[in-house]
Amino acid sequence: MNDTRHRVLDALADGPVSGPTLADELDISRSAVWKHVEALRDEGFEIRSDDAGYALDSVPEFGASAVEYGLDAPFSVEYHDSIPSTNARARDLAAEGESDTVVLADEQTGGRGRLDRDWHSPSGGIWLSVLFRPDVPMAHAPVFTLAAAVAVTRAAREAGVEAGIKWPNDVLVRHGDEERKLVGILTEMEGEADRVSWVVVGIGVNANVDPAELPDEANPTSLSTERGEPLDRRLFTQRLLEEFDALRQDTGRVVEAWREYATTLGKRVRVETPGGPIEGEAVDVQFPGALVIETASGTEVVSAGDCEHLRPVSE
């Protein structure tokens, strides 16, 4: 949304304001005011106009302007009702030189997980990718996956869902012994060893989605299922982006915040790494995101892999 339109909205949110006053305040013509108001109505903002002037009655439920309006983070949002993959679109925008852009969709038709796995993305989810250009070496980029997991966990808890993080990129909800997957994160990047050119952090949140529409073997859940009522996706997306923005600028604090929500630490785990499986007790996580495992033959530090939580062995 352009700047003037933001300012029109801010003025309307404060109560009825007449067209001429608005024109004066924003230093634009009256017909320009009218055009902005019409454009906002087209985007789903309900704007009343009567003798007292214009006033904002309601904000659209979801979409680019809905998320940008009132967002306390410097991202511009591009919204799609349906798109193959927000990560693929964000990569295209990266190639065009963009930054601090969020690609958001209601539905993905070709959502991707890690290692070319499919990510099911029916309508009602929050499927988004954040494109940005941090000034860090490539080796530090995994910290942004952890930051995304922390941000989404905090937003979920504020929405009343006790989410936790399984190393490195799953946000889960526990039901007794069972862990159900609520969110998946896929980070992609490009650059030289000493400097990242761009990072795309893709976050898939099962928001207002029926888990029956998702693959059974993943043991999925959704925010609406956990809450027993639908979620305000606009507010959730804003909280998620605000938390992520704060953490990406303060990466030294990410690991500590991650530990607070980790479900993996203290557990017996089996991690499938490119060099083979590693089994032992997960004891810590280290910057920028490596898992420290005590195995029968010593300490291993693992930077990537699929992690499975095992049942404790009885002594």
Task: Give the binding site for ligand BT5 (CB under 6 A).
Answer: 85-87, 108, 111-115, 117-121, 127-129, 169, 181, 184-186, 202-204, 206, 214-215, 217-218, 220
Token pair for 159: 């929405």
CA dihedral (312, 221, 152, 104) positive or negative: positive
Closer Cβ to ligand BT5, 56 or 64, answer by number? 64
DSSP category for residue 295: E
DSSP 8-state secondary structure symbol assigned to residue 312: P
CB of 171 to ligand BT5, least distance (A): 9
| Amino acid (one-letter) located at 270 | R
Query: Which lies closer to ligand BT5 via its Cβ, residue 45 or residue 87?
Result: 87
DSSP structure string for 45-100: -EEEEETTEEEEEE--SSSHHHHHTT--SS-EEEEEEEES-HHHHHHHHHHTT--S
The closest alpha carbon to 308, from 287, 289, 293, belongs to 293
**Which residue has the CB atom at the shortest distance from ligand BT5?**
184
CB of 306 to ligand BT5, least distance (A): 7
The residue among 125 and 134 lying less far from ligand BT5, judged by its C-beta, is 125
Please state, in angstroms and rounded to a whole number, the distance separating the CA atoms of residues 48 and 56.
Answer: 6
Query: Which residue's CB is nearer to ligand BT5, number 9 or number 147?
Result: 147
DSSP 163: E
Report the nearest approach of ligand BT5 to the CB of residue 130 (Å).
10
CA distance 266 to 260: 12
Distance in Å, CB of 299 to ligand BT5, minimum:
25
10 Å Cβ neighbour count for 20? 11
CB of 196 to ligand BT5, least distance (A): 19
* Residue 108 or 264 having the CB closest to ligand BT5: 108
Nearest to ligand BT5 of 222, 251 (CB atom): 222
Q: Which residue has the tokens 């000034």?
A: 135
By the 8 A CB rule, do 280 and 312 touch? no
Q: How far is the CB of 8 from ligand BT5 (least distance, A)?
A: 31
* Count of Cβ atoms closer than 10 Å to residue 58 Cβ: 10
Closest contact distance (angstroms) between CB of 230 and ligand BT5 is: 17
In this complex, which beta carbon is closest to ligand BT5, that of residue 122 or of residue 288?
Answer: 122
